[in-house]
Amino acid sequence: MRTAREMLAGAHTIAVVGASRDPQKPAHWVPKLLQDQGWRIIPVNPHADQVFGEQAYARLVDIPVHVDLVDVFRPAPEAPELVREAAAIGAGGVWLQPGIASPQARQAADDAGLEYVENTCIGTERALAQMVVGGTTPRSEVYRGLSPQAELEVRPLVRHHRIGAPGAEQHPVRLSTAAPWLSPKHRAVCRSAPRIWTEGRARTRICRIRARYSASVPA
């Protein structure tokens, strides 16, 4: 028998029994998260026509395609019959979400030769393993529909440096203003910065800095 994570990694099509249209319920956002990571989610809900953008079916036996895994969001007394339906459609395993456990369902899965997981969140196992469909590891994601917070840019203090033109007076200027590509943020990525400041280039830059400074100082 494979572990729960191995079962999930080997599945591509998951039927979700009890899939909800309410985004606030785990029966909606947990399968939706799996769908976002590449799994095909087929909702089983007799009271809905469509969930997650997929056609919903009233029963497992109504699904016209092969199902690798049946994920259950229904009360424990319904689990044994759902296991038998999963075996009837040729599913590879049954997964009962947290709070759902049934010795009768486990026995039915053993009798049918199905892989079986109970009282475990499929979304948690996916997140802990950082798994996408096929079992590979993606970049970290933000879960449960929360928008990532924009990181505040921390700008280090910039010292004053001197840019000298040959034979000209030395003028102190701010590095981030005169030559931003020389700051640590740009040093590794910008290859277009001039290595040698000619007299005309330095004089033009210094005049622009003086003009900006004069305009910003109140009279």
User: The domain at 4-128 falls in which architecture?
Assistant: 3-Layer(aba) Sandwich (3.40)
160: pLDDT strictly greater than 90: no
36: pLDDT strictly greater than 70: yes
Alpha carbon distance 89, 101 (integer Å):
22
Alpha carbon distance 208, 217 (integer Å):
15
pTM here is 0.61
Residue 207 — very low, low, confident or very high, per pLDDT cuts 50/70/90?
A: confident
Domain boundaries, the chain: 4-128, 160-216
Class of residue 67 by CB neighbours under 10 A (exposed 0-12, middle 13-18, buried 19+):
buried
Q: What does 61-105 look like in DSSP terms, one character per residue?
A: GG--S--SEEEE-S-GGGHHHHHHHHHHTT-SEEEEPTT---HHH
Taking residues 59-83, report their average pLDDT.
96
pLDDT, one tens digit per residue, over 169-181 is: 544 444 444 454 4
Give the pLDDT of residue 163.
Answer: 45
